[in-house]
Each structure stands twice: as C-alpha cells, then as structure tokens.
Amino acid sequence: METKQPTEQRSSADRRRKELLEAADRVVLRDGPGASMNAIAAEAGITKPILYRHFGDKEGLYRALAVRHTDALIGALRAALDAPAERRKRVEATLDTYLAAIETRPQVYRFLMHPSEGASGGDRGFEAGQHSAPLLRRLGDELGKVIEERLDLGPGGQETARIWGHGVVGMAYAAGDWWLRERPCSRAELVRQLADLLWGRLAMADDHPGAPGSL
C-alpha cells in the first residue's frame, strides 16, 4: 500500500501535467509567441500560481512544450527516413515532413523558435536563441544518430554522421525559416532544391548491412 500510493500520485500528476500542456498548446496555436501564462492558466481553468507549481515559470513551461513537440517531430522524421522507398525519395520526404510541420502550425513554430517576438507588457519574452539553439542541437544529434545507424561512411563515420546531422538541420532550419516568412516558392520546389543541394556524397554512401532502415 505504501508503494501504490506514490505511484498513483505520480500517475495523477503526469496526467494533470499532460492536460496543462494540451491547454498551453491550444493557447500557443491561437496566440503564437504572445501566449501568456495568464491566458494558459485561464484556458486550463486554474490560477497562475497553480501553473507555476507544475512548471516553475514560463521558461519551464516552454521547455516542456519544446520537448513535447520535438519528440513528435523526431518521430515523424524517423518514419519518413524509414519508409519503404528509394533513398532520394526518403530524403525528400524527410525534408517535406519538417517543412510541413512548420507550415501547418506556424504559431507553434514561432513560439518555439522566435519566442521574443511575442514579448509585451509584464510577460517577459526570451533572449533570441536562448532556447531555440538547444532544440536545434537535439534535432542535429538525433539526425546524426540516424545517419550513423543507416549509412556506412567508412573510417571516421561517427564524426561524419554528426557533422551531417547538424549541417542538415541547420540548413533546413535556415531555409525553412526564410521560406515561411517570404514564401518565394512552393514547398515542393523548396524540397526539391534542398534535396539537390544534399545529393552529393550522400547518394554514393553504402547502406549498413542489416540497418533498421537506410537512407
């Protein structure tokens, strides 16, 4: 009985935290980087002190939302990379998955990557890059692991995979950020152009035998 009660309490706290994150998501979808703790608390039907009790402050809530959305994006990217298709098609599908994610939920993207744009009044914004840089590093690390698992890059392959992972993420972020703001071309055209840029040594690398998927 002593062990059951703490387990039930943790389970209840986890459910409540998930509910609060879902409420925060709804506000972010509506308000983007202007989403405030007051608005999120109101959406969740609680007071701001209770919200602070769960996340500490707005930065704590931001980090929790960043993990939630990054986990979902990484899962979608891995699925695109592992799809049963020719390598070039999977590269294009992976790029398109990322661009589709930022296009379909631009307010979430702006909240995560450009939170200072919504700073106003007493609800302090974030310094540029304070949280977006760690998020991009995590995406780069994850993509580097996928590349290492699936491609035989020869001696120094682990280092090469890490460089490629962070390089691809940096390219996709910079190009996607510019594209989302200016819309100079269709998403399909941007995907094709970025895939052309990547299609050098990546096209010539051999797959790892028995890899869970291949690029």
Q: Give the per-residue pLDDT at 126.
A: 44
Tokens describing residue 5: 């009660």
Q: Quick check: is 32 in a domain? A: no
Please report where in the chains the tokens 């631009």 appear, as a residue.
106
Residue with the bigger pLDDT between 132 and 75: it is 75
Q: Quick check: is 54 in a domain? A: no
Q: Quick check: is 9 in a domain? A: no
% residues pLDDT > 90 (the chain)? 52
- Cα–Cα distance, 215 to 203 (Å, whole number): 9
Q: Of 85, 107, 163, 59, which is closest to residue 96 (Cα–Cα)?
A: 85
CATH number at residue 92: 1.10.357.10
Q: Quick check: is 44 in a domain? A: no
Average of per-residue pLDDT across 118-143: 69
How many structural domains does the chain have?
Answer: 1
Longest dimension (CA), the chain: 63
Q: Give the per-residue pLDDT at 45.
A: 94
Q: Quick check: is 140 in a domain? A: yes
Q: Give the per-residue pLDDT at 201.
A: 63
Radius of gyration of the chain (CA): 20
Q: Quick check: is 5 in a domain? A: no
> Does the pLDDT of residue 25 top 90, yes or no?
yes
> Does the pLDDT of residue 192 top 90, yes or no?
yes
- pLDDT band at residue 134 under the 50/70/90 scheme: confident
Q: Give the per-residue pLDDT at 7.
A: 72
Task: Record the pTM.
Answer: 0.81
User: What domain range is 69 assigned to?
Assistant: 65-207
Q: Quick check: is 143 in a domain? A: yes
Average of per-residue pLDDT across 95-100: 96
Q: Quick check: is 56 in a domain? A: no
